[in-house]
Amino acid sequence: MANIFVLLLTITTLITGIIWCLERFKWSVIRKAKIAAINVTNSNLLDNNIQQKIAKQPRWIEHTVSIFPILALVFIIRSFIYEPFQIPSGSMMPTLLIGDFILVNKYAYGIKDPISLTTLVTTGHPKRGDIAVFKYPLNLRLNYIKRIIGLPGDRVSYDPISKKVTVQPSCDSNVCDHKLTMAYSALLPSNLVQTFNFLDNNESLVGFFQIPLDCKIPQEGIRLHTRNESIASTTYSILTIPGAYDQLSSYYQQPGQSFGVWVVPAGHYFMMGDNRDNSADSRYWGFVPERNLIGKATVIWMSFDKQEGEWPKGVRLNRIGSIY
């Protein structure tokens, strides 16, 4: 849907822009020349009302010319500066909640062609700890948002028992000379509770609710645990489900690497969600090519209190502000 909107915006802006140029540099000139020619062939100057009628823009041209500057401004801002996105799932909780509306810095990782995502001008590079929006490698029509954990050349390993990440930079032929310091705080109960409502077809509806630690949780719910994770100079909170284990059989198995270990290829990135036990990320489907990166998430500009697939129940004004 997002790709269709970009394509429609591009085509509409192009068409209205062509009409704007034709009106400014051709059609309006022709109308003025017509008035001048009639004045020359007539001894008496044309009545002002008649001149205005000849010089008047056709209504469809008037409307098209008036909306072009607006479309052009929206196109430039959305394509090269900032683009709004909605958080549809809980994979980045507690950093980003379902119903958060964020602005993504489109020039953080380079100015790109908005349709092909080809980099036109390099303005920066992704850093470990950045929250990035990108095209899902297995379906480019979908936009995903995750945290960048591994850069090109990094050797990333994940322990599904302790649920801790290890990153070894500058890996060459599987030989890494040092580990990146990954700091973790103590694991504590969080105020977020995950509920499971099982349906007849063995599927489940998942919900996330903020319930204070001193309050009773629903029978079908489980209180998530939280801890701080630090990578490079970035510290953030992650969530885990007590006693839950990853679907190890679904892990992406990189050729030549041990199970649960991934060496990030050149021009690619390893992404993970902050809600570790509720995130389909690089552990399961592999790496994100650099050309798939859309931009860096920077600001929450609106937040609605809602669950996945449900209508909002209110507004969370206290969440509006910078993500970092």
Catalytic center residues: 91, 146
DSSP codes, 241-266: -TT----GGGS---TTS-TTEEEPPT
Using a 10 angstrom Cβ sphere, with 0-12 exposed, 13-18 middle and 19 or more buried, the burial of residue 98 is: buried
Give me the amino acid identity at 221.
Answer: G
Q: Hey, what are 316's tokens?
A: 């969370």
Q: Which candidate, 217, 198, 195, 221, places its Cα nearest to that of 206?
A: 195
Q: Are 197 and 281 in contact (CB under 8 A)?
A: no
Q: Hey, what are 50's tokens?
A: 């008649």
Q: Hey, what are 25's tokens?
A: 């540099």
Q: Which candidate, 272, 269, 37, places its Cα nearest to that of 153?
A: 269
Helix ranges restricted to H, the chain: 2-22, 28-41, 48-55, 59-76, 282-285
200 secondary structure, DSSP code: T
Give me the amino acid identity at 182.
Answer: M
CB atoms within 10 A of CB 73: 11
DSSP codes, 45-74: PPPHHHHHHHHSPPHHHHHHHHHHHHHHHH
